[in-house]
C-alpha cells in the first residue's frame, strides 16, 4: 500500500470524536453530532456540506466553543478548549470569529455601522494589553472598511440603509476587526442573490490571501463550496461520510451520498441529456437514525450488510476518508495512483466494528 | 398556434402606492404559455416575480394598487374580472403553490381532511369518495403510505411530504394552470430534485401547464421549456430554455450565468461578478434598467430598449439592433 499522507504541521483546529446531544422531551435524545473527527491546517479552507439538519452549524458552534459539546474534544492551536471556562477562553476568542447567514439579524439596527464594527475593538484589549484609544480604533475602522470594499461614509450610517450584500460586508468587517486566525462562516452567502453572492465569495477568497486566514466554510451549495474550499467534508445525520481534497471529492465522489448530492444539484447549463433519477425519500430524523449505515434506506448501492453494520470513516489510498462499505472507486484510475486491485474492482473490506 | 395558447399576458403593469405615489413595480411584462408547457420566470429578489404571479391570479389586494394590461386565460380576459368570478376560477382552473406549504394548510385539521374539503368545494361528491380521491392523489405525488399520511396534521410531515401534499391539494380539481412560486426554495437539493421531477410529470399525467417562479437558474434549466428573465420588474430576455442558456442575448442574463460558480471543470480564480445591486422600483432609471451595472452601457441605453428578436430569443437590449449581439457564451464542453 502507498504510505498515508503525513500531516507535517500541527492543525489550527481539530475535533476528536466530537458529540453533541440535545434532550428533546419524553426522554428522547437528538444526536446532532455523533463522533466527528477532523483537523484543519492553518491557511486551509474546509468546506462543510450536507442537507439541513445534518449538523453543520452545530459543528461550527462547537469548534468556536459558542456551545459546549457533550463529548469528545476540540483543540485550537494545540490547546484543548473543550471544557475551558469562558474567562480563560476570552483571550482565545480574538483568534476565532464567526460570520452568519442572516446579515440583518446579526446587526443591532439602532447603532451606526462604525459602532458595530468597533465593538470587538472596545471589548477586547489590544495585543500588548490595555485598551485601544479612540485614534487607534478610528484608524482600524478605516482599514476595515477598505478591506471589505465599503466606503468610509458607511461608518456613520445604519444597517437598514444597506443591501444584503453590503450588510454581509459589514458583518465580515466586524469578524475581522481583531485580526482572527480562524473564521467559521455559516452559510454566509445563502441569503444573497447570485450576482451579489459572487462578490462576497470573491471577498472571502481575497481576504484569505491577504490575511492568511483559515476558514471553515459552511454551505449547502456545493458549487460555492467547491469554489472556495481546499478540502471538503460531507455530513449526513450528524456524521462525516466523506472528507478529502475538494476537487477529488466533488469530481469523483466515493460515497454514494456525496454522489447523490452532486447529481441532485440543478446546473444552469443547456441540457442535452436526461436527468438522473432522484434519490428516494427524505433525510430521516436524527432522533431515530436508521441502524447500520445511516444512509442505507436511501442508498442506491445498499447491500445486506449495510443495514446492520455501521461503516466507520477510513482512509482510502488517495488520502480521502470515506464511511461506506462499498465506496465508488476507480472512476478515474490515474487519479488514484497505487490503488490496490481489490479496491478498484470489488467491494472493499471495511475495518472491523468497534 | 393561437388555439394552443393557454395564457397570454400582454403589457402587464402593476403599480403600487409607495410613499404617497404610484410606483410601477412590474412594467409591460408580456409572455404566452402553451398547453402542457412549463414556463420559468427567473429573477433576483425583488425583480417582481411574485407580484407578476399574484397579478395573474387576481390576488393584488393592496389598497390603491393599479393593474393594467391584459391577461387572457383560455381566451378570457382576467384583468378587471369581478372578485367573485376570479375566486371561482382560482382553485378550479388555476391553482397556486408557494414556498411555504404551511401557508396553504390550516394547522388544526389533517391534510387529508383539507384536501377532501377542497375537492368537495368544487364537486358534489360524498366524503368517502373525496377521501379515496385524496389518497390516490397523494399516492400519485409520490407520498409513501398515502392513507396514513392523509390522517396526519401538517406539522407532523417533513418539508418534502408537505410540499407533495400541497401539490396534491392544488391538483385536486385538475387545474389547467399551476402557478408555483419558489416551490423548492426551502427544500434540500435531494428533495428538490424529487419535486422538480414531479412537476415535469404533471403535463403528462394531468395535462397541466406550469408557471414556475424561481431565483435559481439551475432549476429553470432543468425544468422549463421556455424561460423569462425579469430584471427590476421588466422582461430582460425570454425564449426557449436551451437557447437562452447556451447563447444568452441580454448582458444581464450572460453576466448572471457567469457569476454562478461552476460545479464541474476548472475553478475560476475569481468569479466574474456584477457590480452593485439591482435598482429598487422607485429608483429604476428611465432608460435600460440594467444600465447602471452593464459593462456594455453606452449613450443609446438612455432610452428604454424594447424587446427585439435575437437568435431564438427576445431581448430588451440595444445591442442586437445595433448589429453587435453578444458573442456566444463560453461553455466548457463537459457542461453543455
Ligand atoms: N405590498 C407592497 N407594497 C410596496 N411594495 C411592494 C409590495 N409588494 C412587493 N413590493 C415591491 O415590489 C418589488 C417586487 O416584489 P416581488 O415580491 O414580486 O419580488 P420577487 O421577485 O418575488 O422577489 P423574491 O425573490 O424576494 O420573492 C419589490 O421591490 C418589493 O419590495
Ligand atoms: N438547541 C437545540 N436543541 C435541540 N435540537 C437542536 C438544537 N440545535 C440544533 N438542533 C438539532 O440538531 C440537528 C443539527 O442541527 P444544525 O447543526 O443546525 O444543522 P445544519 O446547520 O446542518 O442545518 C438538527 O436536527 C437540529 O434540529
Ligand atoms: S455503507 Fe452501504 S448503505 Fe451505506 S453508503 Fe455505503 S453502500 Fe450505501
Ligand atoms: S441596453 Fe445598454 S445597458 Fe442595457 S443591457 Fe443592453 S447594452 Fe447594457
Ligand atoms: Mg445551519
Ligand atoms: Mg417572491
A187-229 tens-digit pLDDT: 999 989 998 999 999 999 999 999 999 999 999 999 999 999 9
B275-278's contacts with Cβ under 8 Å and 24+ in sequence apart are B275/A199, B277/A163, B277/A165, B277/A193, B277/A195, B277/A196, B278/A193, B278/A195, B278/B44, B278/B46, B278/B47, B278/B231, B278/B232
- Residue range B262-279: average pLDDT? 91
What is the spatial distance between Cα B154 and Cα A93, in angstroms, rounded to a whole number?
A: 42
CB–CB contact A268 B217 (8 Å)? yes
Residue A8 pLDDT? 55
User: Which of B49, B189, B256, B258 to substitute to test the interface with A, most A CBs within 10 Å?
Assistant: B189
Cβ atoms of A18 and A37 closer than 8 Å: yes
Query: What distance in Å separates the CA atoms of residue A219 and residue A222, rounded to the nearest whole number?
Result: 7
pLDDT band at A265 (very low <50, low <70, confident <90, very high): very high
Q: Which of A236, A237, A241, A326 to mutate to test the pocket of ligand 3 (most atoms within 8 A of CB)?
A: A326
Phi-psi domain of B80 (left: phi exceeds 0; alpha: psi -120 through 50; beta: other): left
Residue B144 to chain A, least CA–CA distance (Å):
9
pLDDT of residue A346: 32
Return the pLDDT at A341.
35
Q: Are B181 and B97 in contact (CB under 8 A)?
A: yes
Helices (H), chain A: 56-63, 86-93, 113-123, 134-148, 164-176, 194-211, 222-228, 246-251, 256-264, 341-345
Decide: B55 and B18 in contact? Cβ < 8 Å: no
Q: CA B330, CA B230: separation in Å to the nearest integer?
A: 23
Maximal CA-CA distance, chain B: 68
- Residues within 5 Å of ion ligand 6, judged at the Cβ atom: B 50
- The full set of domain ranges for chain A reads 1-77+182-348, 106-180
Rounded to an integer, the average pLDDT of A152-174 is: 93
The span from the CA of A252 to the CA of A319, in Å, is 13
Q: What's the rounded Cα separation, in Å, for the pair A234 and A243?
A: 6
> What ipTM does the predicted assembly reach?
0.89
* Across B245-254, average pLDDT: 96
Q: Which CATH superfamily hosts domain A1-77+182-348?
A: P-loop containing nucleotide triphosphate hydrolases (3.40.50.300)
Give residue limits of the domains in chain B.
Answer: 1-93+175-335
Task: Round to whole Å and give the CA distance between B71 and A33.
Answer: 52
Q: Name the DSSP class of A4.
A: P
pLDDT at A327: 95
- Helix, strand, coil in percent for chain B, rounding step 5: 35, 25, 40
User: pLDDT tens digits, residue range A52-61?
Assistant: 889 999 999 9
d(CA A101, CA A145): 20
B242 in reach of chain A (CB within 8 A): yes
Tell me, what's the pLDDT at A1? 38
pLDDT tens per residue across span B164-183: 999 999 999 889 999 999 99
- At B21-67, the pLDDT tens digits run 999 999 999 999 999 999 999 999 999 999 999 999 999 989 999 99
Which of A62 and A100 is assigned the larger pLDDT? A62
Phi and psi, residue A229, nearest 5° = -95, 150
Check CB contact of B264 with chain A, cutoff 8 Å: yes
Q: How confident is the model at residue B331 (pLDDT cuts 50, 70, 90)?
A: low
Q: Are A171 and A119 in contact (CB under 8 A)?
A: no
pLDDT over threshold 70, residue A351: no
Does the pLDDT at position A352 exceed 70?
A: no
**Of the candidates B312, B311, B306, the residue with the CA atom closest to the CA atom of residue B325:** B311
The 10s digit of each residue's pLDDT in B101-154 is 888 899 999 999 999 999 998 889 999 999 999 999 999 888 888 999 999 999
Stronger pLDDT, A28 or A273, i.e. the higher one: A28
Domain B1-93+175-335 in this protein, CATH class: alpha beta
Give pLDDT tens digits for B145-157. 899 999 999 998 8
Q: Quote the DSSP letter at residue B124.
A: -
Average pLDDT over every residue of B7-29: 96
Which residue's CA is minimally distant from atom 18 of ligand 2? A57
Which residue of chain B has the CA closest to A206? B270
How distant is the alpha carbon of residue A97 from its chain centre? 13
Which among B260, B264, B265, B234 is positioned nearest to B245, based on CA atoms? Answer: B260
Quick one: pLDDT at residue B99?
83
Q: How far apart are the first and last CA of chain A?
A: 23
User: Does residue B279's CB lie within 6 angstroms of at least one atom of ligand 1?
Assistant: no
Amino acid at each position: 500500500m502507498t504510505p498515508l499522507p503525513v500531516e507535517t504541521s500541527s492543525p489550527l483546529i481539530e475535533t476528536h470524536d466530537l458529540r453533541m446531544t440535545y434532550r428533546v422531551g419524553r426522554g428522547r435524545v437528538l444526536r446532532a453530532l455523533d463522533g466527528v473527527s477532523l483537523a484543519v491546517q492553518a491557511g486551509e479552507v474546509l468546506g462543510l456540506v450536507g442537507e439541513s439538519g445534518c449538523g453543520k452549524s452545530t459543528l461550527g458552534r462547537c469548534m468556536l466553543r459558542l456551545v459546549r459539546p457533550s463529548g469528545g474534544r476540540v483543540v485550537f492551536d494545540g490547546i484543548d478548549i473543550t471544557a475551558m471556562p469562558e474567562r480563560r477562553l476570552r483571550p482565545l476568542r480574538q483568534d476565532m470569529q464567526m460570520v452568519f447567514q442572516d446579515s440583518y439579524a446579526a446587526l443591532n439596527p439602532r447603532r451606526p455601522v462604525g459602532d458595530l464594527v468597533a465593538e470587538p475593538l472596545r471589548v477586547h484589549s489590544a495585543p500588548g494589553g490595555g485598551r485601544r484609544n479612540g485614534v487607534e480604533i478610528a484608524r482600524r475602522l478605516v482599514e476595515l472598511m477598505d478591506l471589505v470594499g465599503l466606503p468610509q461614509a458607511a461608518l456613520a450610517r445604519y444597517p437598514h440603509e444597506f443591501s444584503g450584500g453590503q450588510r454581509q460586508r459589514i458583518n465580515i468587517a466586524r469578524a475581522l476587526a481583531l485580526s482572527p486566525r480562524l473564521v467559521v462562516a455559516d452559510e454566509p452567502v445563502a441569503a444573497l442573490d447570485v450576482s451579489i453572492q459572487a462578490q462576497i465569495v470573491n471577498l472571502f477568497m481575497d481576504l484569505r490571501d491577504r490575511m492568511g486566514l483559515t476558514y471553515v466554510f459552511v454551505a449547502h451549495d456545493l458549487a460555492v463550496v467547491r469554489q472556495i474550499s481546499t478540502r471538503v467534508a460531507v455530513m449526513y445525520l450528524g456524521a462525516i461520510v466523506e472528507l478529502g481534497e475538494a476537487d477529488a471529492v466533488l469530481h469523483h465522489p466515493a460515497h454514494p451520498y456525496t454522489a447523490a448530492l452532486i447529481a441532485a444539484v440543478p446546473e444552469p447549463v443547456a441540457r442535452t441529456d436526461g436527468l438522473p433519477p432522484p434519490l428516494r425519500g427524505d433525510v430521516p430524523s436524527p432522533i431515530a437514525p436508521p441502524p447500520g449505515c445511516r444512509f442505507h434506506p436511501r442508498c442506491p448501492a445498499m447491500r445486506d450488510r449495510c443495514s446492520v453494520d455501521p461503516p466507520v470513516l477510513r482512509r482510502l489510498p488517495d488520502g480521502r476518508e470515506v464511511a461506506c462499505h462499498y465506496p465508488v472507486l476507480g472512476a478515474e484510475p490515474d487519479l488514484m495512483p497505487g490503488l490496490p486491485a481489490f479496491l478498484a474492482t470489488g467491494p472493499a473490506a471495511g475495518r472491523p466494528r468497534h | 398556434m393561437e388555439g394552443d395558447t393557454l395564457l397570454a399576458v400582454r403589457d402587464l403593469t402593476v403599480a403600487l402606492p409607495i410613499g404617497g405615489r404610484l410606483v410601477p413595480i412590474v412594467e409591460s411584462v408580456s409572455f404566452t404559455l402553451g398547453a402542457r408547457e412549463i414556463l420559468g420566470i427567473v429573477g433576483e429578489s425583488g425583480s417582481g416575480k411574485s407580484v407578476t404571479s399574484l397579478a395573474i391570479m387576481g390576488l393584488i389586494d393592496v389598497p390603491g394598487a393599479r393593474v393594467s394590461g391584459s391577461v387572457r386565460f383560455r381566451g378570457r380576459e382576467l384583468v378587471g374580472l369581478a372578485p367573485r368570478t376570479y375566486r371561482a376560477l382560482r382553485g378550479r382552473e388555476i391553482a397556486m403553490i408557494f414556498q411555504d406549504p404551511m401557508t396553504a394548510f390550516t394547522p388544526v385539521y389533517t391534510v387529508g381532511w383539507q384536501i377532501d374539503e377542497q375537492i368537495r368545494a368544487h364537486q358534489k361528491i360524498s366524503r368517502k369518495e373525496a377521501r379515496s380521491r385524496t389518497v390516490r392523489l397523494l399516492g400519485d405525488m409520490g407520498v409513501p403510505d398515502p392513507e396514513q399520511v392523509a390522517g396526519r396534521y401538517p406539522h407532523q410531515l417533513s418539508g418534502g411530504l408537505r410540499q407533495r401534499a400541497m401539490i396534491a391539494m392544488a391538483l385536486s380539481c385538475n387545474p389547467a394552470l399551476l402557478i408555483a412560486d419558489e416551490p423548492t426554495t426551502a427544500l434540500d437539493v435531494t428533495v428538490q430534485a424529487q419535486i422538480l421531477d414531479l412537476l415535469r410529470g404533471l403535463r403528462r399525467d394531468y395535462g397541466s401547464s406550469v408557471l414556475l417562479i424561481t431565483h435559481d437558474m439551475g432549476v429553470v434549466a432543468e425544468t422549463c421549456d421556455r424561460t423569462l428573465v425579469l430584471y427590476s420588474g421588466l422582461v430582460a430576455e425570454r425564449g426557449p430554455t436551451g437557447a437562452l442558456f447556451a447563447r444568452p442575448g441580454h448582458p444581464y442574463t450572460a453576466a448572471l450565468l457567469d457569476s454562478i460558480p461552476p460545479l464541474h471543470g476548472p475553478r475560476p480564480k475569481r468569479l466574474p461578478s456584477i457590480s452593485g445591486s439591482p435598482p429598487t422600483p422607485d429608483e429604476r432609471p428611465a432608460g435600460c434598467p440594467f444600465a447602471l451595472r452593464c459593462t456594455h452601457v453606452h449613450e443609446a441605453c438612455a432610452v428604454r430598449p424594447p424587446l427585439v428578436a435575437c437568435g431564438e430569443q427576445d431581448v430588451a437590449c440595444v445591442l442586437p439592433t445595433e448589429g453587435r449581439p453578444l458573442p456566444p457564451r463560453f461553455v466548457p464542453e463537459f457542461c453543455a
